């Protein structure tokens, strides 16, 4: 075993969490939405999405599969670093996982949040959550660092490319002539604006990935692919502006413009959780079928070896930097590596208000 992960004693995979059974659905949704002004009707509707799958989100087993894949890749490279898992909104909660890790002697932990892109929801909210866990644990709290956003990690991009090609190959005539619809989670315009204050914003991060993937597809298939970025899963007050176009409206518009085949690439999500399993596989594919568009949904990066290998590269690189060694982060696209520590003032707004909660890895800004 090598010391390549020092100074870290463990890796925490920190995710959203999801219900495991029908009776978990309402308490889970309460955890997610407390204080967020989401209308009752929207909650009832989202509850139905979960009940359609027996009240069980696939997200927990997908995170466990990622934990296993990371453990296997670390072991293959003979890197000694235990991997543990904790969530923001459902068991196992981060605070409980950190308490255990601390009891087993972990003094310094590197955290991988399961969101590839930086915004309030994907970055600052996790940092607030980790700060609250540290406060709760008091002097038993380990020291916690967070891995930078990985949207432009070459492994993440390569895994998405492979998934698009696999899906495209199943269309009649293959991927040739397909329009690639890249999809991510919609966020309020105010959250988008706040994500762009200290660096490239949420939308711009996705546009960078789209450009990289489209260039790679053109090079590999000798053809320029038409493409676009669309959004799913909007919630909140319908009067509040969120990023558009909605993927369903967009597919309808593409059909009206004469597009007959599409590949839907969910670059905003790392596994086939509820947003993918319902909002894309049920709703968006239904919309495409209604409008006579041949559509296929590309896989998420999941536990693809390119993705998992890229994450382990990032972990090793961060550990080396913390040991004071010189490193040269490798990224795809034009935006470069995001800083290890989120800049003060980044991603402050949720829905037009500054939350003012303490955050980890930065001043209370």
Ligand X SMILES: CC1=C(CCC(=O)O)c2cc3nc(cc4[nH]c(cc5[nH]c(cc1n2)c(C)c5CCC(=O)O)c(CCC(=O)O)c4C)C(CCC(=O)O)=C3C
CB nearer to ligand X: pick between 46 and 110: 46
Stretch that binds ligand X, among 3-11, 111-119, 206-214, 356-364 (CB under 6 A): 111-119
Residue 174 dihedral angles phi and psi, to the nearest 5°: 75, -160
CB nearer to ligand X: pick between 120 and 225: 120
Reduced to 3 states (helix: H, G, I; strand: E, B; else coil), residue 117 is: coil
* 117 annotated ligand binder: no
Stretch that binds ligand X, among 230-238, 247-255, 282-290, 323-331 (CB under 6 A): 230-238
Q: Which of 4, 129, 179, 185 binds ligand X (CB under 6 A)?
A: 185
CB nearer to ligand X: pick between 95 and 277: 277
CB nearer to ligand X: pick between 37 and 344: 37
Inter-CA distances, 141 with 9, 96, 166, Å = 13, 11, 44
Residue 236 engages ligand X in binding (rule: CB under 6 A):
yes
* 23 annotated ligand binder: no
DSSP string covering 269-325, please?
-SS--HIIIIIIIIIIHHHHHHTT-EEEEPPP-TT-HHHHHHHHHHHHHHHHHHTT-
CB nearer to ligand X: pick between 142 and 188: 188
Convert residues 269-298 into a mask of x (bound to ligand X by CB under 6 A) and - (unbound).
----xxx-----------------------
Stretch that binds ligand X, among 68-76, 139-147, 229-237, 286-294 (CB under 6 A): 229-237
Helix H or strand E encompassing 207: helix 202-221
* 244 annotated ligand binder: no
**CB of residue 123 to ligand X, shortest distance in Å:** 9
* 57 annotated ligand binder: yes
For 48-72, give one letter per residue: b (16+ CB within 10 A) or e.
ebbeeeebbbbbbebbeebbebbee
Stretch that binds ligand X, among 34-42, 68-76, 311-319, 332-340 (CB under 6 A): 34-42
Q: Which of 33, 190, 198, 355 binds ligand X (CB under 6 A)?
A: 33
Residue 187 engages ligand X in binding (rule: CB under 6 A):
yes
**CB of residue 184 to ligand X, shortest distance in Å:** 7
Q: How far apart are CA 18 and CA 56, in angstroms?
A: 7
Residue 350 engages ligand X in binding (rule: CB under 6 A):
yes
**CB of residue 226 to ligand X, shortest distance in Å:** 25
Reduced to 3 states (helix: H, G, I; strand: E, B; else coil), residue 100 is: helix
What number of residues does the chain have? 365
**CB of residue 126 to ligand X, shortest distance in Å:** 8
What residues numbered 87-106 form the site for ligand X, per CB under 6 A?
A: none
How many chain residues touch ligand X (CB under 6 A)? 26
**CB of residue 28 to ligand X, shortest distance in Å:** 7
CB nearer to ligand X: pick between 165 and 283: 283
Q: Where are the beta strands (DSSP E) in the chain?
A: 10-15, 83-87, 108-113, 143-146, 179-185, 227-232, 261-265, 294-297
Residue 218 dihedral angles phi and psi, to the nearest 5°: -60, -45
Q: How far apart are CA 203 and CA 184, in angstroms?
A: 9
**CB of residue 206 to ligand X, shortest distance in Å:** 10
Do the strands 108-113 and 143-146 form a parallel or antiparallel pair, or are they unpaired? parallel
Q: How many CB atoms neighbour CB 149 within 10 A?
A: 24
Enumerate binding residues for ligand X (CB under 6 A): 16, 18, 29, 32-33, 36, 38, 42, 46, 57, 59, 114-115, 119, 121-122, 185, 187, 233, 235-236, 268, 273-275, 350
């Amino acid at each position: 075993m090598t010391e390549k992960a020092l100074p870290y004693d463990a890796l925490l995979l920190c995710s959203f969490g999801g219900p495991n059974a029908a009776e978990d659905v309402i308490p889970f949704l309460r955890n997610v939405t407390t204080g967020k002004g989401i209308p009752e009707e929207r909650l009832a509707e989202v509850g139905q999405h979960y009940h359609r799958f027996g009240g069980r989100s696939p997200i927990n087993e997908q995170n466990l599969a990622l934990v296993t894949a990371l453990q296997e890749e670390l072991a293959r490279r003979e890197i000694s670093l235990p991997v543990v898992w904790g969530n923001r909104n459902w068991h196992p909660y981060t605070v409980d996982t950190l308490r255990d890790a601390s009891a087993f002697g972990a003094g310094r932990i590197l955290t991988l949040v399961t969101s590839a892109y930086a915004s309030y929801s994907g970055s600052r909210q996790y940092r607030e959550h980790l700060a609250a866990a540290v406060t709760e644990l008091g002097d038993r709290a380990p020291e916690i660092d967070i891995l930078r956003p990985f949207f432009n990690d070459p492994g993440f991009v390569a895994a998405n490319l492979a998934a698009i090609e696999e899906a495209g190959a199943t269309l009649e005539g293959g991927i040739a002539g397909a329009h690639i619809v890249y999809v991510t989670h919609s966020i309020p315009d105010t959250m988008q604006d706040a994500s762009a204050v200290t660096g490239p914003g949420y939308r711009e991060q996705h546009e960078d990935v789209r450009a990289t993937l489209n260039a790679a597809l053109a090079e590999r298939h000798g053809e320029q692919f038409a493409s676009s970025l669309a959004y799913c899963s909007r919630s909140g007050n319908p009067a509040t502006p969120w990023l558009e176009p909605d993927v369903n409206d967009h597919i309808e518009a593409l059909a009206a413009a004469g597009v007959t085949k599409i590949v839907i690439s969910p670059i905003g999500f790392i596994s086939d959780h509820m947003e993918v399993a319902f909002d894309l596989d049920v709703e968006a594919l239904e919309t495409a079928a209604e409008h006579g568009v041949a559509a296929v949904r590309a896989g998420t990066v999941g536990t693809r070896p390119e993705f998992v290998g890229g994450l382990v590269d990032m972990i090793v690189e961060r550990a080396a930097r913390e040991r004071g060694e010189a490193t040269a982060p490798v990224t795809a696209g034009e935006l470069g590596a995001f800083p290890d520590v989120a800049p003060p003032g980044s991603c402050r707004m949720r829905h037009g208000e500054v939350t003012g909660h303490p955050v980890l890895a930065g001043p209370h800004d």
